[in-house]
Amino acid sequence: MFQRSSGVVLHISSLPSPYGIGTMGEDAYKFVDFLRDGGQTYWQVLPLGQTGFGDSPYQCFSAAAGNPYFIDLDTLAEMGLLDEQDLRDADVETSPDAVDFAALAETRFVVLRRAFERATPELLGKMAAFRWDNRDWVEDYAMFMSLKNYFDHKALWDWDDEAIKHRDPEAMRKYAFELKHEIDFYVFMQYLFFDQWMKLRAYANEKGIQIIGDIPIYVSPDSCDVWAHPEMFKLSDSLKPNGVAGVPPDYYSATGQLWGNPTYNWKVIEKDGFKWWIWRVRRNLALFDVTRIDHFRGFQAYWEVPDGEDTAINGKWVKGPRMKLFKAIRNALGDVPIIAEDLGDIDDDVRKFLKKSGYPGMRVMIFGMRANETNDHIPFNWPKNCVGYTSTHDSETICEQIQDKCTEADRKFAYEYLRTSDREPLGWSAIRTAFESPADIAMTTMQDVLSLGADARMNTPSTLGGNWSWRVRREAINPDVSGFLRRAAFGGKRLNPRT
């Protein structure tokens, strides 16, 4: 399904911007041009949803909604919805290197509400058309967010009104009337988000750049998905998870990772032919050119931890839907371009499952930098049908791993294997090696393109605070860097013929 190609991972939030977080504005279009000039084929982003606790894009309030923080404010000013004072009020640039999520939470929605109040009848008509086209999710999302505000931002299971918590029809009508203006505001933001996103994607495609999106396997416990479809999850009567997702002790944590997401009631989901999952994949295919499914091994068997545990140690493996789900997706949607994130605690059963699916799995170079050892992650062992990465958003950067984390023996091996020297940055040597590998798709992160270290790490699993905030400086996206990427793509026979 995939041609020999390469690309760069950079989340929207990590783009430069005068407003404290990356947006779908001018700098996003310039990044597309940077990738085109660099001979790349793919731009990979993290999930685009509206983040909640911990600011993680893997813990969103909706599986379908976009993050209002990514709405470009300069575009709204050009539309006459914001003025110069509004833009000054939205400028919370505390650092060009990191997102200040607390400052955004205080200011961004205030400014977006002003834009809503200035919406013209023509714009509201476009919003109404968007609302109708997206009625399968946007009404639940907008009401859920309005109710969260009404109940002082409490989690779903702590809402004060049991009737609306359980979607009693009379309560639904009551709050739909009382919160109409607030609900309309949330729909308006989604209209703006997807209008801007689809224009950005169209521009990328025109320039020969395809976008790889990301589906988290789980949804947040405090989400409109749980509220609208409680039967699909293992929940208590209060809608609090009975069992939560995670992984056993692994490379990242001796006590495992406790994610806190509710686990699926797969028997119920299978009964209706996996309709919700088919809808979810279909929706992502409308937004992205390729979809990466996170934690793919969880469909074969998932680690379930009883609610209330402090760590993931006392979990157990529970059988997942396996090929039943993906056969249903194929029957409904055909052979769709999917990448399976098959990292973590992988056994032979998972390997057989991935092979049956036919989807390319992942390999990560930093996991292969081991002296006197050969494993699946060292680039010369990467299979053709895989996506090979120098590092990922969850791992150390290539420089942090080799320079700060490796043993002396591993470090010496890495430098020799990558053929690095004082003539070029370490990250560039790693990218050349990845691009010359057998993998159909070779990917790197913007952090590795810039040979950045621990300060540029995007996420450290099993930790709270300080994650997801890294941003690239505008001056780092320059012709010298794109020139290197183009030479690396050419040398690895990955040069995009359309660039």
- Positions annotated as catalytic residues are 294, 341, 394
Please say whether the beta carbons of 360 and 440 come within 8 A.
yes
CB atoms within 10 A of CB 306: 12
Residue 250 phi, psi dihedral angles, 5° rounding: -150, -165
Dihedral of alpha carbons 36, 38, 39, 40, sign: negative
- CA-nearest of 62, 35, 33 to 48 is 62
Give every strand in the sheet of 210-215, ordered side by side. Answer: 338-340, 290-293, 210-215, 42-44, 5-9, 441-445, 386-389, 361-364
**What does the radius of gyration of the chain's CA atoms come to, in whole angstroms?**
23
- What CA–CA distances, in Å, run from 245 to 191, 312, 317, 459? 32, 9, 10, 18
Q: Which residues make beta-bridge pairs with 441?
A: 5, 387
Closest among 180, 55, 182, 58 to 109, alpha carbons compared: 182
Three-class SS state of 258: strand
The DSSP element (H or E) to which 385 belongs, if any, is none
β-partners of residue 258 are 246
Indicate the residue type of 186.
Answer: Y
Strands (E), 127-169: none
290 in Cβ contact with 339 (< 8 Å): yes
Q: DSSP class of residue 298? A: G
Kindly report the number of other CB atoms within 10 A of residue 478's CB atom.
12
Structure tokens at 280: 């979810």
Rounded to whole angstroms, the Cα distance separating 340 from 321 reads 15
CA 163 centroid distance within chain: 33
Compute the distance between CA of residue 418 and CA of residue 362 in angstroms, rounded to an integer.
20
**Burial readout 66-92 (b: 16 or more C-beta within 10 A, e: otherwise):** bbbbbbbbebbbeeebbeeebbebbbb
Distances (CA, A) of 284 to 212, 269, 280, 359, 411: 10, 19, 6, 16, 40
Residue/partner pairs of 351-354 with CB below 8 Å, 24 or more apart: 353/297, 353/299, 353/300, 353/322, 353/323, 354/296
